[in-house]
Amino acid sequence: MDTFTHAFLGAATAQLGFRQRIGRAAAWVAAAAGAMPDLDVFIAPIMTLTGAETNGLSHLQMHRGITHSLFLSPLLALPVAAGWWWLRRALRRREMPQAVHKTSDKPPPHFLWLFCCVWLAVLVHPLLDLTTSYGTQILAPLTDRRFALDCMPIVDIFYTPTLILTLLACWIVRLAKHGVARRTTLIIGWAGFLLSCMYIAAGRVIHDRVVDSVIPLAGQEKVVTADAYPAIGSIFLWRAVVQTDSRWIVVRRHLFSDRPIDQEAETITPKANNEWIDRAWRLPEVKTYVWFTGDRLRPHYHKSNAGCVVEFHDMRYGFPLQSAESYWPLNVVFDADGNFVSASRAERFRAGSPRFAVAGEAWQDLWNP
């Protein structure tokens, strides 16, 4: 998910009993901790600046890597919690009278409360990313496999507002009750958190229904793979992909659409592999892309003025949704003598269509069953 949603989710987990026990700082620290694993986006640029050997796909290997590991989450949380605990103690010593401590002073929360608050905020980050199609290395360093549940989009216009409304409701209750609202905010916090979990569960149920609905399009052909990927925006619009022995079938499916499935499908019959495609498959960059996409690639070969190009289409993403052309193909270029030139990930838009127009079309598509 996007980093802002992770921050909101982290702040929402603070409402599950930590904010009530620790104080207002819990929500802010949890929000920062919830977004912290996404700092790995800076690893590849830093490596480039330091002169370390990298390739054009290094950012794919770094993002959602070790910082998103479930095993590393307590290690990420520990220094944050320790710094928070030390700062609270330092501020408390400065604010309290040097003579006699007031007996009415509320004792500071134990370090374990601070640590659990931060740990939970860090832990839910990879778990939320796991629900998307991008893939997350949640078991690193035991394995570098990218796990994905394919039931949530990267940006969701319903999930994120649920978290925001939960935080807003807790804030309003605290204002109305002048700070005495522990039980009410606890109920609101848990209700909002569980509602967000139910939305994710609904996404997985819809995913399975979409997959079941498109498999019959294969007819009597053997189905190699069949999956569905939510479109950016919500769990109500999907891109379903069916691969058979002889073709790819890509389908746009809206939860509230009553149109026949075959009217929203595009079929493409791939060309037979040739020596250029076979050579491209063996390149390290392509192997990295296979790992990144979970082997959901469709190769396509065509000649160019300077040689030839092999495109590897990531079939998880495409625009429009029923297009067999992926959104981010990996272009492998060979020169006229057959020498490997480059492998780079391109961003494909419709010809002559600027970014804001593409975003507008995607927004309209979301509300068009």
Predicted local confidence at residue 195, as pLDDT: 97
- pLDDT tens across 277-291, in order? 999 999 999 999 999
Question: Would you give the distance in Å from CA 7 to the centre of its chain?
Answer: 13
Q: pTM for the complete prediction? A: 0.90
Predicted local confidence at residue 72, as pLDDT: 94
- The backbone torsions φ and ψ at residue 106, rounded to the nearest 5 degrees and listed phi first, read -75, 130
- pLDDT tens across 160-177, in order? 999 999 999 999 999 887
Q: How far is CA 109 from CA 79, 80, 114, in A?
A: 17, 16, 7
* Angstrom distance (rounded) from CA 313 to CA 348: 11
Reduce the secondary structure of 58-112 to three states and give it as a string: HHHHHCCCHHHCCCCHHHHHHHHHHHHHHHHHHHHHHHCCCCCCCCCCCCCCCHH
* Angstrom distance (rounded) from CA 60 to CA 289: 8
Amino acid at position 84, single letter: W
Residue 300: in which H helix or E strand, if any? Answer: strand 297-304
Predicted local confidence at residue 328, as pLDDT: 85
Strand partners for 300: 311
- pLDDT tens across 206-230, in order? 999 999 999 999 989 999 999 999 9
Which residue's entry shows tokens 């950016």? 232
Q: Pick out the chain residues at pLDDT < 50.
A: 99-101, 103-104
Instruction: Please state whether 153 falls in left (phi above 0), alpha (psi between -120 and 50) or beta.
Output: beta
Tokens of 41: 């986006």
Predicted local confidence at residue 104, as pLDDT: 45
* Angstrom distance (rounded) from CA 316 to CA 206: 17
- Say which residues have a Cβ less than 8 Å from residue 242's Cβ, sequence separation at least 6: 214, 215, 217, 218, 223, 225, 226, 248, 249, 250, 251
Predicted local confidence at residue 99, as pLDDT: 43
Radius of gyration of the chain (CA): 25
Predicted local confidence at residue 305, as pLDDT: 78
- Say which residues have a Cβ less than 8 Å from residue 46's Cβ, sequence separation at least 6: none
